[in-house]
Amino acid sequence: MHCCLSVLLLGLWLAPPLSGEPLRLYSQEYPPVNFSVAGEPAGMAVEVVRELARRSGQPISLEVVPWARAYREARTRPNAGVFVAMRTAEREPLFQWVGPITVNSTGFYGLNDFTPRIDTLEDARHHGQIAIPREWYSHQLLLAEGFTNLHPVPGPDMVVQMLKHRRVKLMVMDNLGLPAYLARGGLRDDEVKLLFSFLRSYSYIAFSPETDPSVVARWQEELDGMKRDGSFATIHHKWLPGAEMPGLRAPP
């Protein structure tokens, strides 16, 4: 019996620590949630991720890259993840999820002189091309809804430019990124109006299927701890004052 106990304790002592292999984490330019300043990652989610790494004792590397690359790396590379990513039914089996990090509302926006009403998704099909960031969750959703008038472009900055120069009448954007992208594109908030909100969603850290599940579980535990002790709320309010803050778990 003492021999078995000794073997068990030795096995536990030799078990690899959680902080073994660094996690490769990718994000994109999505201010103020995650973005880069002079080549260094910054933003609300970046602060949360760094604190999760500190609490879990997990070494990480952070890189801000185009969304398509971030998504691909997080799907295929062991010990890798992308943040923030919207958790949708289509993506659910592709990743392991830690969150929620933000609550987002996505809709159709137009310039203030856009006069037709848009009250449904069907209405939006009849106003020419719609600028939308390529391969974003909203793009995938509208494709699944059978939209044929989408004009996907590499990112939100180009979406805003297309609307500003009236190459399209509508663009798809979410409420958290909208102010920063309008400012970067030379549009004031009062020059653009929300016409119809069609999606409420929650963002997460999405880890590859090959990432150690115990690491993912530990990160979720630490995130829940941040929400309970108030540190998550402090970071959220710093970057997203007035925005809705997610609870411990998103509604199904």
Q: Quote the pLDDT of residue 20.
A: 62
Please tell me if the domain spanning 21-101+202-239 has the same topology as the one spanning 104-200. yes
Q: Quote the pLDDT of residue 213.
A: 95
Please say if the pLDDT value at position 147 is more than 90.
Answer: yes
- For 104-200, CATH gives 3.40.190.10
Which letter, b or e, does each residue of 169-200 get, where b requires 16 or more Cβ atoms within 10 Å of its Cβ?
Answer: bbbbbbbbbbebbbeebebeeeebeebbebbe
Q: 85 with 95: CB under 8 angstroms? A: yes
Domain boundaries, the chain: 21-101+202-239, 104-200
- The whole-number average pLDDT for the span 146-169 is 94
Q: Average pLDDT, whole number, for the chain?
A: 89
Strands, DSSP E only, in the chain? 23-27, 35-37, 40-42, 60-64, 80-86, 96-111, 130-133, 150-153, 170-174, 192-207
* pLDDT, tens digit (0-9, with 9 covering 90-100), for 28-77: 889 999 999 988 999 999 999 999 999 999 999 999 998 888 999 999 89
CATH architecture of 21-101+202-239: 3-Layer(aba) Sandwich (3.40)
* pLDDT, tens digit (0-9, with 9 covering 90-100), for 187-219: 999 999 999 999 999 999 999 999 999 999 999
Q: 219 with 95: CB under 8 angstroms? A: no
By percentage, how much of the chain surpasses pLDDT 90? Answer: 78
What is the band of 6 on the pLDDT scale with cuts at 50, 70, 90?
very low
N-to-C CA span, the chain: 47
Q: 68 with 153: CB under 8 angstroms? A: no
